[in-house]
Amino acid sequence: MSYEQLKLDNQLCFPVYAASRLITSEYQPYLNELGITYPQYLVLMVLWEKGDSYVNDIARKLILNTNTITPLLKRMEHQGIIERKRSAKDERKVVVSLTAYGRSMEKKAAKIPELLANKLLSDKLDLHDIVSLKNKLEVLIEMLKK
């Protein structure tokens, strides 16, 4: 190969991408119990934390385009997890609210972070390493969002 910078082993993006896919797949058995996908889980976490939210605010928090999140929200509404309504203050905005079913999912989902952490912890990766990695990735995300 003529260009060292094109080797997969020399890329930052590949280990981040691969780790993301592999971690997401670790979530799947727990999410299957709830009948949701990982992107739906992310939306739920925003709503559990913030309460009723505008579609644009959810999209911004999850670093997604509204045209990506809208079909996801439609599916969640069809599943009875959320409701979408036009804002009374500004009809151009859509407010997303949890249904009773969506709120009830929070208690079941509360165990997921600990279960996942237990799978990740090992003699090669301790809690400090995981927290440090998360913090560094958050810095990277903030740098790239600008």
pLDDT at residue 2 greater than cutoff 90: no
Residue 64 and residue 39: Cα distance in Å, rounded?
10
- Percent of the chain surpassing pLDDT 70: 99
Position 112 scores a pLDDT of 97
pLDDT band (50, 70, 90) for residue 130: very high
Cβ 83 vs Cβ 96: under 8 Å: yes
Position 82 scores a pLDDT of 98
The model carries a pTM of 0.92
Length of the chain: 146
Position 94 scores a pLDDT of 95
pLDDT band (50, 70, 90) for residue 146: confident
Residue 19 and residue 13: Cα distance in Å, rounded?
10
- Percent of the chain surpassing pLDDT 90: 92
pLDDT band (50, 70, 90) for residue 78: very high
pLDDT at residue 1 greater than cutoff 90: no
Which CATH number is 4-145 given? 1.10.10.10
Q: Where are the domains of the chain?
A: 4-145
pLDDT at residue 80 greater than cutoff 80: yes
Q: Where are the alpha helices (DSSP H) in the chain?
A: 13-34, 38-50, 55-61, 66-78, 100-109, 112-120, 127-145
**For 36-75, what is each residue's pLDDT tens digit?**
999 999 999 999 999 999 999 999 999 999 999 999 999 9
